[in-house]
């Protein structure tokens, strides 16, 4: 069946470091792709999305590009902040979402 | 805007009892609500999809008689775990989507512990 695979965490970085969280998907057709973020004690929030190949989603300094040829949607940020500490979920779908296992990110000052 | 709440945020119940979890859309009408289950350090797994006024559609492997879902209004859906057992202990998350909208808005989750 369709699935999403994320790099295993936890990931710990220093402030201002470059971030990459890998995400690959298997799917029939061309699903929409999403990154969600979950801050402590809060619900999942949509961080960014891309609906077709070569689209780039971006928000709050985070970016991810829909790569059909590599079935990937890696999340990147050039300079992370302590406030970016959270759990990040990659997901695919439209009517129904399929999530990756989540990656816990901790940014140290 | 687009806030979804869940109540309770955590609950402990004894084995064999039933527990109800509420999911509310506070500032929009949710024509579709989704219920997910999340095990520790694992992904969210969709349990069922419910449309207002209709019976829920359950994912394969989810017992509909055990996990009763009611979506009686455009702002409220409930999940009742019947005859709970320790293996039902988990984090339950709901999401909601308004009519015609694409994005799902998630609640903060409910942690259920069955002793």
Tokens of A102: 């989540």
Is the CB of residue B105 less than 8 Å away from at least one CB of chain A?
Answer: yes
pLDDT of residue B34: 95
Q: Indicate if the pLDDT at residue B98 is higher than 90.
A: no
Please say if the pLDDT value at position B1 is more than 70.
Answer: no
Q: How far apart are CA A49 and CA B55, in angstroms?
A: 30
Question: Closest partner residue to A96 among B43, B49, B105, by Cβ?
Answer: B49
Question: Does residue B100 have a pLDDT over 70?
Answer: no
Cβ-proximal residues to B78 (8 Å cutoff; 6+ apart), any chain: B20, B21, B22, B23, B68, B69, B70, B71
With contact defined as beta carbons under 8 Å apart, do B92 and B35 qualify?
A: yes
Size of interface A-B (CB pairs under 8 A): 40
Reduced 3-state DSSP string for chain A: CCEEEECCCCEEEECCCCEEECEEEECCCCCEEEEEEECCCCCCEEEEEECCCCCEEEECCEEEECECCCCECCEEECCCCHHHCEEEEEEEECCCEEECCCEEEEEEC
What are the tens digits of pLDDT across the range B25-71?
998 898 899 999 988 777 899 999 998 888 899 999 999 999 999 98
Mutate: best of A24, A43, A92, A99, partner B, most B CBs <10 A:
A43
Of all residues in chain B, the percent with pLDDT exceeding 90 is 71
User: Which chain B residue is nearest to residue A43, measuring alpha carbons?
Assistant: B108
What distance in Å separates the CA atoms of residue B80 and residue B50, rounded to the nearest whole number? Answer: 14
Q: Taking 80 as the threshold, does the pLDDT of residue B101 lie above it?
A: no
Whole-number Å distance between alpha carbons of B98 and B30: 4
Least CA distance to B10: which residue of chain A?
A41
Question: Which chain B residues are within 8 Å of A102, Cβ to Cβ?
Answer: 41-43
């Amino acid at each position: 069946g369709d699935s999403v695979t994320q790099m295993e965490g936890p990931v710990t970085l220093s402030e201002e470091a470059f971030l990459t969280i890998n995400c690959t998907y298997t799917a029939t057709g061309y699903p929409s792709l999403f990154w969600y973020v979950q801050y402590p004690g809060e619900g999942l929030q949509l961080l960014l999305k891309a609906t077709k190949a070569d689209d780039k989603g971006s928000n709050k300094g985070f970016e991810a590009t829909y790569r059909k040829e590599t079935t990937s949607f890696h999340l990147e940020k050039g300079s992370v902040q302590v406030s970016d500490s959270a759990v990040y979920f990659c997901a695919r779908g439209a009517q129904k979402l399929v999530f990756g296992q989540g990656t816990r990110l901790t940014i140290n000052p | 805007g687009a806030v979804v709440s869940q109540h309770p945020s955590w609950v402990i119940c004894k084995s064999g009892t039933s527990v109800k979890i509420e999911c509310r859309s506070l500032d929009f009408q949710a024509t579709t609500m989704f219920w997910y289950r999340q095990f520790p350090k694992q992904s969210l797994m969709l349990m069922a999809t419910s449309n207002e006024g209709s019976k829920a559609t359950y994912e394969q492997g989810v017992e509909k008689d055990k996990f009763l879902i009611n979506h009686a209004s455009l702002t409220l859906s409930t999940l009742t775990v019947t005859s709970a057992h320790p293996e039902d202990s988990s984090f339950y998350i709901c999401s909601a989507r308004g009519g015609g909208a694409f994005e799902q808005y998630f609640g903060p989750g409910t942690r259920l512990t069955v002793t």
